[in-house]
Amino acid sequence: MTDARPMLNVIQEPAGCACGEHDGDLPELDVRPIPHRIRHGSVFGALSAIGSGEAMVLVAPHDPKPLLAQIAEREAGSISVTYLEQGPEAWRLRLQRD
C-alpha cells in the first residue's frame, strides 16, 4: 500500500552560505513573535500571496515539520522548500511556488 498524501520537495542542504544576505528581496515572514494558535494561518495567508516562480523566507522557532506537512497537503506539491538555517535559535526556510 502506498501513501497517497502529497509531498513537498524538501532540500536539506543550505543554499549557498545560508547567511541570508543572498536571498535578494524575498519577503520574509518571522513567525516567532506570532501567537502559536494563529501561526500556521499566518503562513498560509503569506503563501497565498506568492505567485508561480516566486518565493518567501519563513523564520520559525523550531523545525516546522508539522507545518510543512500541512503545506504539502494544501498546496498539492506546488511548494518547494530549502532549509537555509537549521537552528538552534531559528530555522530559516525558503518556500517557493513551482
CA 14 to chain centre: 13
Q: Residue 90 pLDDT more than 90?
A: yes
Place of cell 523545525: 63
**Confidence category of residue 25, pLDDT binned at 50, 70, 90:** confident
Q: Residue 12 pLDDT more than 70?
A: no
C-alpha cell at 5: 498524501
- What's this model's pTM, rounded to 2 decimal places? 0.77
At a CB cut-off of 8 Å and minimum separation 6, what does 7 contact?
A: 72, 77
Q: Residue 49 pLDDT more than 80?
A: yes
Residue 58, burial from CB neighbour count under 10 angstroms (0-12, 13-18, 19+): buried
The number of residues in the chain equals 98
User: How much of the chain, in percent, has pLDDT values that exceed 70?
Assistant: 76
User: For all residues of the chain together, what is the average pLDDT?
Assistant: 86
